[in-house]
Amino acid sequence: MAINRRQLAVLALLTLVWGLNWPVMKIGVSGSAAHPGGYPPLTFRALSMLAGLPVLGLALWALKVPLRVERAHWPALARLALPNMIVWHVLIIVAVQALSSGRAAILGYTMPVFSALWGVAFFGDRLSWRQSAGVLAAALGVTLLLAHEFGKLAGAPLAALAMLLAAATWAYGTHLLRRTALPQATLTLVFWMTALTTVVVSLCALVFEASQWRWPAPHTAWAIAYNAVGVFGFAHAAWFFLARSMPPVASTLSVMLIPVLGVFSGAFWLGEALHWQDFTAMALMVMAIGAVLLPWPLLRRR
């Protein structure tokens, strides 16, 4: 396969925005030493999406992307939204409170391994030796990064399992998105999947957290703004563009630097400890990405 320059640029920016968002979310919902005090996680996510949806809508308007979805296509759209966004966002924002931001990112980005397994088991995919090597390197990197966390995870088993379930569900959703027959533009699908997820998350926040509602502190408001613009205004659209334009293994493994960036940015901002496993895992993640994206001479100009 080849990756063109546009895909590479989108991938680089996506990695930066999503990677830095793990400590941002942690600060938003749990606070930090410099900014103590947490915030209800579902409410945090609902506010982020409510603020991000107009940003995404303005982008579609500026790009003249139509929003219309025929009534007959709404059931298929809802089936895409459930694994690709709804389950993912509800589970990770609740689980990140109990885990370090870096390790939460690592658990969430076991997704490429699940994606490869689902592809072989349910969708008739066949992995080349390079793709298999990439999956193996990614899995080994995740294992190394978790090596020093088993004690902490033992204290939060439900949070760890929730992150793994979110990753597995997202991986399955990526396959569905790749194979969807819906005729709408990717940005149109992203907008309405985000809208559906906003409704679900807002209702969950109303049911479970209404008694905890309060005005967000400045550090929480900043984290909400980052998520609104960076994650819901850009990152999801960028991810779905890559997921629909690249083979599933390539698109999923290509984002494996995100948990590495999450680990190191969490260490920098939140003082989360790093070990030799972190540095070894970073090299393995780079190998995993290279296994599906190299050789670079195959870059196509557009």
**Interval 127-145: pLDDT, tens:** 777 778 877 887 787 777 6
148 pLDDT more than 70: no
Residue 109: predicted pLDDT: 76
Q: Is the pTM of this model over 0.85?
A: no
164-217 pLDDT, tens digit each: 899 899 989 988 988 888 999 989 999 999 999 999 999 999 999 999 999 999
The C-alpha atoms of residue 182 and residue 174 are separated, in whole angstroms, by 14
The C-alpha atoms of residue 90 and residue 149 are separated, in whole angstroms, by 23
- Residue whose C-alpha is closest to residue 201's, from 41, 44, 77, 46: 46
Phi-psi domain of 124 (left: phi exceeds 0; alpha: psi -120 through 50; beta: other): left
Give me the torsion for CA of 209, 213, 218, 219, rounded to 10°: -10
Print burial letters for 183-220: b (CB count within 10 Å at least 16), e (below 16).
ebbbbbbbbbbbbbbbebbbebbeeebeeeeeebbebb
Percent of the chain with pLDDT over 90: 39
261-298 pLDDT, tens digit each: 888 888 888 787 777 777 787 777 777 766 655 544 44
Q: Which of 31-45, 181-195, 229-243 is most confident?
A: 181-195
Phi-psi domain of 39 (left: phi exceeds 0; alpha: psi -120 through 50; beta: other): beta
Residue 297: predicted pLDDT: 44
